[in-house]
Amino acid sequence: MLAVLGFLVGEKVEGSSFLFDASIKGPAITHLTQVPEGFWAILLITIGAAEQFRAEKGWVDPSEVPVDQPGLLKSDYVPGDIGFDPLGLKPEDPEEFMIMQTKELQNG
């Protein structure tokens, strides 16, 4: 939903953006093709690194998994909990954590 706002507002701030030296111009529908190629490489590497970290944290190494159980999760892994909580918002009590996790899943 926020992308719609960016799409509609993007043409109004043309030339005044700090991103990409304000070199992206024209109709919003063409902005994606004007982004420098180096940005996409950095974005791809960043997303790949985050996904690799998540996979190593949550899944058993494929060489150690029985053939009949592909994609086996580690026993101590809770989906969505990769240990990143810089603001300390994760409840210590397991009951409260489950309530918060359910609220997150239900957007609310």
**Neighbour-count burial for 26-44, b at 16+ CB within 10 Å, e otherwise:** eeeeebeeeeeeeeeeeee
- Whole-prediction pTM value? 0.65
**pLDDT tens-digit readout, 21-73:** 667 777 777 878 888 888 999 999 999 999 999 999 999 998 999 899 998 99
> How far is Cα 45 from Cα 39, in angstroms, rounded to an integer?
10
Answer whether residue 106 shows pLDDT above 80.
Answer: yes
Answer whether residue 108 shows pLDDT above 60.
Answer: no
- Nearest partner of 22 among 33, 8, 35, judged by Cα: 35
Strand pairing partners for 59? 73
Contact at 8 Å (CB) between 74 and 59? Answer: yes
**pLDDT tens-digit readout, 89-105:** 888 898 998 898 888 88
Contact at 8 Å (CB) between 51 and 30? Answer: no
